[in-house]
């Protein structure tokens, strides 16, 4: 069976660096951090004092107040980013094409904020005062559900929940839907609003979060002095489209998505498999699926969380996949600036990978000061660098042993 070619024709993002994709990217290549003091909840209650929060986000710019009130924050983010992506793609959805346009958006933890607030209401006032919208606001698939309702997209409608691999798995799964012919367009990515009391408490309890109180230096992937990730929030949504469909309507094409790899560690609920064995296989699969050789990859947007084991084992996995070429390609972690957006990370980082290809520029890993002997690759330290990028991969690795990699290429007719 001939695989249909799939391209990216629209992007939309909300990140700690900006409330649209281009502003976020401009700040990324400028090496600006979106991390600041933890303000959404009381920082005095937690050892983690910093977070990567959205700034000046107003859902009512895109969603009517009465509708926004029936959504958890993660769904507001998803709907907003999806509307931006569809507008960017100049895509019109109507009765003639709605059944061939699908939505596949994931969230790692869903409506945690809604759950907390409604549980407090239940404890104080009983079940009768719990909102009738509680369940539909909380469940992770509601981002997909609401986006499809807002846009009128009636095709494949699904949701992936694979912790921090969610966004990348969602994009990869949506890519395969189009490639096999089940849809012509997919609106896909991830969304997350995890800066809540219980989510932060949980990640603090398992010592995953950085306790560095300095927002400027708390996220330092691959640096020897890293001590945990910084919680972030936002959404990254892409419009994927079958190539001939995109060409027929004169769509702008950012890049071509050509490969997807998804694996399981079968090892531990939170720790990555030794030497990144699962991530190594995901990268190999994504490169092979794209019909490429390892030496053809120019750039890796790494998972790069700023935790001890992730960064060390992801580096080991890259060396295993690429051999000597590992020292010739560029690897960077944009989480050094955005923090870790959990289920939204893969969506946002896919956009950054596409923009890196488009603009021939490598985004930096900021706060890289003290080399770690076990992390000895080219992490594009502290400053962006010009480089022609013909092919790149984006990695996401999640609790539960989920590993996902997607491969993008410069679009060539």
Catalytic residues: 164
Cα(114)–Cα(111) distance, rounded to whole angstroms? 5
By CB atoms closer than 10 A (0-12, 13-18, 19+), residue 68 is middle
Q: Please answer whether residues 192 and 74 qualify as being in contact, where contact means their C-beta atoms are separated by less than 8 angstroms.
A: yes
Structure tokens at 303: 């998972």
Could you tell me whether strands 36-37 and 361-362 are parallel, antiparallel, or unpaired per DSSP bridges? unpaired
The residue behind tokens 């972690």 is 333
Sign of the Cα torsion 336, 337, 340, 346 reads: negative
Q: Which residue has the tokens 């990730």?
A: 229
Looking at the DSSP bridge assignments, the partners of residue 260 are 406
CA distance linking residue 223 with residue 205, whole number of Å = 23
Helices (H), 293-403: 308-322, 335-338, 345-359
Residue 339: which of 156, 217, 242 has the closest Cα? Answer: 217
Whether 45 and 30 have beta carbons less than 8 Å apart is answered as no
- DSSP letters, 154-211, are -S-EE----GGGHHHHHHHHHHHHHHTTS-SEEEEEEEE---SHHHHHHHHHTT-B--
Q: Which secondary structure element, helix H or strand E, spans residue 250, and what is its range?
A: none
Q: State CA 111 to chain mean position distance.
A: 17
Pick left, alpha or beta for residue 262 (phi over 0 → left; psi -120 to 50 → alpha; otherwise beta).
beta
């Amino acid at each position: 069976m001939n695989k249909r070619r799939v391209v990216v024709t629209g992007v939309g993002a909300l990140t700690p660096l900006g409330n649209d994709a281009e502003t976020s990217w401009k700040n990324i290549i400028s090496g600006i951090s979106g991390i600041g003091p933890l303000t959404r909840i009381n920082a005095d209650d937690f050892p983690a004092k910093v977070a990567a929060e959205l700034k000046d986000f107003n859902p009512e710019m895109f969603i009517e107040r009465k509708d926004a009130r029936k959504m958890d924050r993660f769904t507001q983010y998803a709907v907003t980013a999806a509307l931006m992506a569809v507008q960017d793609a100049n895509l019109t959805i109507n009765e003639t094409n709605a059944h061939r346009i699908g939505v596949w958006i994931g969230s790692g933890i869903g409506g945690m904020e809604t759950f907390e607030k409604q549980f407090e209401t239940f404890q104080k006032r009983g079940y009768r005062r719990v909102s009738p919208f509680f369940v539909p606001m909380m469940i992770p698939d509601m981002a997909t559900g609401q986006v499809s309702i807002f846009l009128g997209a009636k095709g494949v409608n699904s949701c992936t929940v694979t912790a921090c691999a969610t966004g990348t798995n969602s994009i990869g799964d949506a890519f395969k839907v189009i490639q096999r012919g089940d849809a012509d367009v997919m609106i896909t990515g991830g969304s997350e609003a995890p800066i809540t009391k219980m989510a932060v408490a949980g990640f603090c309890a398992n010592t995953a979060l950085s306790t560095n109180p300095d927002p400027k230096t708390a996220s330092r992937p691959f640096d020897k002095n890293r001590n945990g990730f910084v919680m972030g929030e936002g959404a990254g949504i892409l419009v994927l489209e079958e190539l001939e469909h995109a060409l027929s309507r004169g769509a702008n094409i950012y890049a071509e998505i050509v490969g997807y790899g998804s694996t399981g560690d079968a090892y531990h609920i939170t720790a990555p498999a030794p030497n990144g064995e699962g991530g190594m296989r995901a990268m190999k699969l994504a490169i092979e699926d794209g019909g490429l050789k390892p030496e053809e990859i120019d750039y890796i947007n790494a998972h790069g969380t700023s935790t001890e084991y992730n960064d060390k084992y992801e580096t080991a996995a890259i060396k295993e996949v690429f051999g000597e070429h590992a020292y010739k390609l560029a690897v960077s972690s944009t989480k050094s600036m955005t923090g870790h957006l959990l289920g939204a990370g893969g969506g946002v980082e896919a956009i950054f990978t596409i923009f890196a290809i488009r603009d021939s520029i490598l985004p930096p890993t900021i706060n890289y000061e003290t080399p770690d002997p076990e992390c000895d690759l080219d992490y594009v330290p502290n400053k962006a660098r010009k480089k022609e990028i013909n092919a790149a991969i984006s990695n996401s690795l999640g609790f539960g042993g989920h590993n996902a990699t997607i491969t993008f290429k410069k679009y060539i007719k």
